[in-house]
Copies of this chain bind each other. A is one copy, B any other.
Amino acid sequence: MIVRPQQHWLPRLFVWHGSVLPKITSRLLMNFLLSIAVILMLPWYTSLGIKLTVAPFSILGVAIAIFLGFRNNACFARYSEARMLWGQLMIASRSLLREVKTTLPDDEGLRHFIQLQIAFAHSLRMTLRRKPQGDVLAKYLTPNDLHNVLNAHSPANRILLLMGEWLGERRAQGALSDVLFSSINQRLHDMSAVLSGCERIFTTPLPFAYSLILHRTVYLFCIMLPFALVVDLHFMTPFISVLISYTFISLDTLAEELEDPFGEEDNDLPLDAISSAIEIDLLQMVDADVLPHKMTPGKNYQLT
């Protein structure tokens, strides 16, 4: 995702990419067809004494809107927290390098330490996207380290341990006093907090029943809505029914997308761009010669 160039309010109504509309078109179409069927069937089932009115749907609509609002809030909070954790990774990475560089300005292993830092960001990204990370990490780790990292239950945590050991060696050699060692260690702890925070969001979705109850009530509500609207609106039923269904179903669907912010769908976090930015920033801080290219948004202004 990325900031789109500001649009006039009118053309924006017709944007297709990045909205959830493509995902739910078929459901809205079914709602439209159902509404037409309801109009045609109206005389028949009215003759059976069956009728629905809008009033009870008003109660139900408000209740669902309130609960859906709370759930959307909860899902958005996950998305927000995930973004904030990656922001904290940026903070910790920069501060860690700044502190190491200013206290050990002449250390020859500094370049190796930066490789570990960059590897941490990429390893976390690949883990959260359920992708194999061997190829990516091979660029940054020694074969032996790579072997240990890939075999670990949590690869990124193993990289943290490698960074801790790098610092521990400097302390054992007397290059780092205990004060500086424990102060720099605090940054590793911050990165550990980012790691566990992401793992938490990744492994613990919203309570399943929470999503399910709302999913069910939203769909039942939308399915029964045409029956209630048809008495008053007749030929206008399909249009109003689809409009109301769009409001509810699109927010239900968006909530689902936001619930897992680490995916690669339109509204997910651009982890590729963020970890690339961390890499560029760290390398620039030691005036490295070769930098990866800064990622630029593709068509539809989308970053991955």
Contacts and interface: CB of A to CB of B under 8 A. Distances in A.
Contacts of A212: 12, 15, 18-19
B157 A200 contact: no
B208 A19 contact: yes
A250 interface: yes
A63 interface: yes
Contact of A284 (B60, B84, B152, B189): B152
Copies in the complex: 5
Given A207-B254, A243-B224, A94 B64 contact: no
A91 B192 contact: yes
A168 B48 CA distance: 84
Interface residues of A, number: 127
A76 B74 contact: yes
A236 B52 contact: yes
A199 B95 CA distance: 15
A13 B67 contact: no
Contacts of A95: 188-189, 192
Interface string A173-204: 00001111111010011001101110110011
Nearest to A53: B232
Contacts of A160: 94, 98
Contacts of A196: 87-88, 90-91, 94
A127 to B, nearest CB: 13
Interface stretch (A99-107, A118-126, A133-141): A99-107
Given A209-B267, A217-B246, A99 B185 contact: yes
Interface of A: 1-4, 9, 12-13, 15, 18-20, 27, 48-70, 72-74, 76, 79, 83-84, 87-88, 90-91, 94-95, 98-99, 101-103, 105, 152-154, 157-158, 160-161, 164-165, 167-168, 171-172, 177-183, 185, 188-189, 192-193, 195-197, 199-200, 203-205, 207-210, 212-213, 215-217, 219-221, 224, 229, 232-236, 240, 243-244, 246-248, 250-251, 254, 257-258, 260, 266-267, 269, 277, 280-281, 284-285, 294
27 contacts: A3-B205, A9-B215, A12-B215, A18-B208, A19-B212, A20-B213, A51-B236, A56-B244, A58-B58, A60-B243, A60-B244, A67-B251, A70-B73, A76-B207, A90-B200, A91-B192, A91-B195, A98-B161, A98-B188, A103-B171, A105-B168, A105-B172, A178-B180, A207-B254, A208-B267, A217-B246, A224-B240
